[in-house]
């Protein structure tokens, strides 16, 4: 697909600005997710980077999937994992935090 390498570079650059200390192997996963997700492909690079980072943290660094498997609703599971997501964002140097009002899919 034409423009794909440039898009990946733009998402990676946005991610470095938004979450400067994300580990390299997770940075690659976030950029790949932003490239592969139909909902993120057309988003601005910064938006795609942020949403993909939050999704990776939610699924790999919290109990979100376990809570869903236990029958929790999506919104309840997201609320329950909010502090854990924000702790990872802080560790990774992000200035922005997720709030309860965020609709970060």
pLDDT tier at 1, thresholds 50, 70, 90: very low
Res 100 pLDDT > 90: no
For the chain, how are helix, strand and coil distributed in percent, rounded to 5?
A: 65, 0, 35
In this structure, is residue 97 part of a structural domain?
no
| pTM for the predicted model, two decimal places | 0.90
Res 45 pLDDT > 90: yes
Res 11 pLDDT > 70: yes
* Tokens 């057309």 sit on residue: 42
pLDDT tier at 2, thresholds 50, 70, 90: very low
In this structure, is residue 101 part of a structural domain?
no
In this structure, is residue 99 part of a structural domain?
no
Q: How many domains does the chain have?
A: 1
In this structure, is residue 48 part of a structural domain?
yes
In this structure, is residue 62 part of a structural domain?
yes
In this structure, is residue 55 part of a structural domain?
yes
CA distances from 76 to 42, 57, 58, 80 (A): 29, 17, 13, 6
- Within the chain, strands assigned E span none
In this structure, is residue 102 part of a structural domain?
no
**Structural domain boundaries enclosing 50:** 4-91
Share of the chain above pLDDT 70, in %: 93
């Amino acid at each position: 697909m034409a423009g794909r390498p440039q898009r990946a570079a733009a998402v990676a650059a946005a991610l470095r600005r938004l979450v400067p200390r994300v580990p390299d192997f997770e940075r690659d996963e976030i950029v790949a997710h932003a490239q592969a997700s139909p909902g993120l492909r057309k988003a601005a690079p910064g938006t795609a980077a942020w949403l993909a980072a939050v999704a990776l943290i939610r699924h790999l660094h919290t109990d979100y999937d376990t809570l869903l498997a236990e029958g929790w609703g999506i919104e309840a599971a997201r609320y329950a994992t909010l502090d854990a997501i924000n702790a990872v964002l802080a560790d990774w140097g992000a200035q922005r935090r997720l709030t309860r009002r965020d609709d970060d899919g």
